[in-house]
């Protein structure tokens, strides 16, 4: 099969390569095309990827290219991992909201909205090229944040797309480690929107059948779970579930803001990590995934991507957590909204598993953020300051009209080069 990675010059890419090499039995790649607009990164990451494949005994061909059409032509699947504006734009996302007393973050709040506005038009142009030149049944796998909004943009335009995040697979691995079982024995009761999710169950299958191990996990490992997500143990006990780390931006907003105001941004830290990684990638003697790559983020990204693409191509019909159309799964949301839940994955697509009713507090927060996401996508597709203000005000981490107006003006001023309607 031919697989294309758009944004293949990312320092993340060797994480993917490592997974592709280790799991080649379930994903037999003959050609892997790395597509990127940065020739220097493409050269370094492409060379590193080639050495990793050869060192692992993988016979697949790696082709770095800046030609999107060539990269996706006749592809069986296309993985999109773009960062429009690079780490410089991310630094802006993580700082401009501070002027209005809001958290700065690249996937949620005002910063996440800025990223959506920059990203959606670019991803849609890429997807049109995929539609025109890839195989007719090719899948687009979106790993580009904000995944929920970007995936809905793709589905809204009729693309054969599914969104992917590594939060769920990270919890699966952590729970398995705490329970002393193989991660394949665990199925999560994961529910919500991308970067707004809760683990409501951890179903373990063994010789005695299937049982929910989450209550016991909370009882015996409460302190470790609380430390992992950086939220109070009493909150986990009250909820009876484990919220993802991203819920910290909602449940502990003011504490997070104080931390951010006294610390360098994540973008600044990542820039340092990336410089070190690119130096390693330039070394012709380095042919395995560097330990330093763990500092870049994206843990288990390669496993999630390989599992998803393999199941879409080979009809394994296993259960994975993905971003897909709601289609009644959460009855309080429109059918065309994108949710993040466990689904059966096969050649015909993805189908959400049944979801137990949600408590009022979780349902209310999901509904609130979903309303913002719909307005945010409308602004990303159609542009216009008024649309941006309306979406900004709808976000639960903003909420006030005067604040939304000021944040909108800051957002536009910092992203004018990426917003065609604002130039």
Binding-site residues for Mn(2+), in ranges, read 165, 195
Q: Is 55 helix (H, G, I), strand (E, B) or coil?
A: helix
Helix (H) or strand (E) run with residue 62 in it: strand 61-65
Torsion sign across C-alpha atoms 317, 322, 323, 327: positive
- Binding-site residue numbers are 90, 145, 165, 195
**DSSP notation for 347-391:** TTEEEEPP-PPPPHHHHHHHHHHHHHHHHHHHHHHH--HHHHHHH
Q: Which residue has the tokens 């941006």?
A: 388
Question: Residue 3 and residue 32: Cα distance in Å, rounded?
Answer: 5
By CB atoms closer than 10 A (0-12, 13-18, 19+), residue 181 is: middle
Q: Distances from the Cα of 405 to the Cαs of 113, 401, 402, in angstroms?
A: 14, 6, 5
Q: Which residue has the tokens 């779970």?
A: 225
Long-range contacts of 324-327 (CB under 8 A, 24+ apart): 324/151, 324/162, 324/163, 324/350, 324/352, 325/155, 326/352, 327/352
Question: Residue 297 and residue 273: Cα distance in Å, rounded?
Answer: 10
Question: Residue 366 and residue 200: Cα distance in Å, rounded?
Answer: 15
- Region of residue 181 (phi > 0: left; psi between -120 and 50: alpha; otherwise: beta): beta
Q: Distances from the Cα of 302 to the Cαs of 16, 158, 251, 329, 377, in angstroms?
A: 4, 26, 30, 28, 28
User: Is position 251 annotated as part of the catalytic site?
Assistant: no
User: Active-site residue among 12, 245, 246, 250?
Assistant: 246
Question: Residue 207 and residue 19: Cα distance in Å, rounded?
Answer: 29
Q: Distances from the Cα of 347 to the Cαs of 49, 128, 275, 344, in angstroms?
A: 28, 22, 40, 10
Question: Which active-site residues does the annotation give?
Answer: 246
């Amino acid at each position: 099969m031919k697989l294309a990675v758009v944004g293949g010059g990312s320092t993340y890419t060797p994480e993917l390569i490592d997974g592709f090499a280790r799991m080649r039995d379930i994903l037999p790649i003959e050609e892997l095309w790395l597509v990127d607009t940065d020739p220097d990164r493409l050269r370094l990451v492409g060379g590193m990827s080639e050495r990793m494949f050869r060192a692992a005994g993988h016979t697949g061909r790696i082709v770095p290219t800046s030609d999107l059409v060539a990269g996706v032509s006749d592809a069986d699947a296309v993985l999109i991992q773009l960062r429009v504006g690079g780490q410089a734009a991310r630094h802006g996302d993580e700082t401009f909201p501070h002027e209005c007393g809001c958290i700065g973050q690249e996937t949620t709040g005002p910063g996440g909205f800025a990223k959506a506005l920059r990203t959606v038009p670019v991803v849609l142009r890429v997807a049109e090229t995929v539609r025109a030149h890839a195989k007719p049944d090719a899948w687009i796998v979106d790993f580009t944040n904000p995944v929920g909004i970007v995936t809905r943009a793709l589905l809204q335009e009729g693309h054969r797309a599914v969104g992917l995040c590594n939060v769920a697979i990270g919890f699966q691995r952590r729970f398995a480690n705490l329970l002393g079982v193989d991660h394949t024995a665990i199925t999560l009761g994961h529910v919500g929107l991308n970067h707004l999710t809760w683990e409501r169950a951890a179903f373990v299958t063994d010789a005695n059948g299937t049982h929910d191990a989450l209550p016991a996990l909370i009882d015996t490992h409460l302190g470790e779970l609380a430390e992992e997500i950086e939220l109070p143990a009493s909150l986990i006990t009250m909820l009876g579930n484990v919220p993802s780390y991203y819920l910290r931006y909602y449940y502990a907003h003011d504490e997070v803001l104080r931390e951010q105001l006294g610390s360098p941004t994540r973008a600044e830290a990542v820039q340092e990590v990336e410089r070190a990684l690119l130096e390693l990638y330039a070394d012709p003697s380095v042919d395995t995934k560097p330990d330093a790559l763990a500092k870049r983020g994206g843990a288990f990204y390669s496993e999630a991507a390989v599992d998803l693409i393999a199941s879409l191509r080979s009809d394994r019909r296993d259960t994975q957590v993905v971003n897909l159309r709601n289609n009644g799964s959460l009855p309080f949301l429109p059918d065309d909204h994108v949710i993040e839940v466990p689904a059966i994955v096969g050649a015909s697509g993805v189908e959400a598993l049944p979801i137990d009713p949600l408590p009022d507090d979780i349902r209310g927060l999901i509904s609130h953020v979903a309303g913002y996401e719909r307005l945010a996508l409308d602004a990303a597709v159609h542009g216009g300051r008024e649309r941006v203000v309306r979406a900004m005000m709808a976000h639960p981490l903003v909420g006030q009209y005067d604040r939304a107006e000021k944040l909108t003006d800051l957002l536009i001023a910092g992203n004018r080069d990426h917003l065609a309607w604002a130039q």
